[in-house]
Amino acid sequence: MKTYKKNAISIGVLFIATMLVGMIDAYFVEPELKSPIINILHVERKLLTGVFSILIMAIGIVFIAIAFYPVIKKQNESIAITYLVFRVIECVLLIIGPICYLYLIALEGEAIIESGSSNFVTATILALKVKNYGFQIAMILLGIGSLFLCYALYTSRLVPRFLSIWGGIGYLLLLVSAVLDIAGLIDTADGLGAILYVPGGLWEILVFPLWLFVKGFHIPEKNNTS
């Protein structure tokens, strides 16, 4: 019987890698964009860094779903397909971020700058809002799709149930935080919004990958959902 050890290691590596490159944009690029941008030249390199970090993250999350697919398919094919589809859509939404960054770079030297700094500032603010909305909708889809994944992990016992429960709680909080951010009630980059990321973040970057590296998936001889 297949143990899917390679899949387990690949998933663990991809979870860590996508989290780390995502943090590059969150902690290295986005803080520079909190205040109004007057001159793109001052932040152009960081914007390009954000473009490539988000692209790498977006591609990586699709490969996470691809690596999960043969493992989850044996337990619940519908959930395996659902998770893959949700992560592909998440990838597409995340790519809105690099497009917005490239748009900001393209504004340099264009007529909108010549027509007045206020118009330029307005354009940058709108572009960053579009990026944020795309990201938050992506997080909603990630939360929903990953709740299905954690349910499959829980019922199949591919990993200990406490890991499935932890992951489910983390993704539920992620889903809630994205909805509240879109509603303007919290900011996921600060305060309560950032705290809501912690359970899921720890699960993805440390707890779940570590378990996969050491133990891998437990493939039962018969699917026991009790």
pTM of the predicted protein model: 0.89
Q: How many Cα atoms within 13 Å fall on the side-chain side of residue 197?
A: 18
The one-letter code for the residue type at 182 is I
d(CA 83, CA 94): 16
Pick from 215, 224, 168, 187: which is nearest to 11 by CA? 215
pLDDT in tens, 188-200: 888 888 899 999 9
The whole-angstrom separation of Cα 57 and Cα 87 is 11
Which of 73-77, 119-123, 154-158, 216-220 shows the lowest per-residue confidence on average (mean pLDDT)? 119-123
**In whole angstroms, what is the distance from residue 222 CA to residue 106 CA?**
57
Residue 145: partners with Cβ closer than 8 Å, 6 or more residues away? 82, 83, 85, 86, 87, 90
* Pairwise CA distance, residues 9 & 63, whole Å: 12
The larger pLDDT score, comparing residue 3 to residue 195, is at 195
> What integer pLDDT is reported at residue 55 of this predicted model?
96
Q: What is the pLDDT of residue 191?
A: 85
Instruction: Return the pLDDT at 224.
Output: 43
pLDDT band at 225 (very low <50, low <70, confident <90, very high): very low
Q: How does the average pLDDT of the chain come out, rounded?
A: 89
For 9-65, how does the pLDDT look when each residue is reduced to its tens digit (9 = 90+)?
Answer: 999 999 999 999 999 998 888 887 877 666 676 788 889 999 999 999 999 999 999
Burial 16-33 (b: 16+ CB within 10 A, else e): bbbbebbebbbeebbeeb
Q: Is the pLDDT of residue 166 over 90?
A: yes
Q: Who's near 113: CB < 8 A, 6+ residues apart?
A: 107, 120
> Is-contact 100 127, C-beta < 8 A?
yes
Q: State residue 223's pLDDT score.
A: 47
* Per-residue model confidence as pLDDT tens digits over 79-117: 999 999 999 999 999 999 999 999 988 877 555 555 556
Q: Is the pLDDT of residue 70 over 60?
A: yes
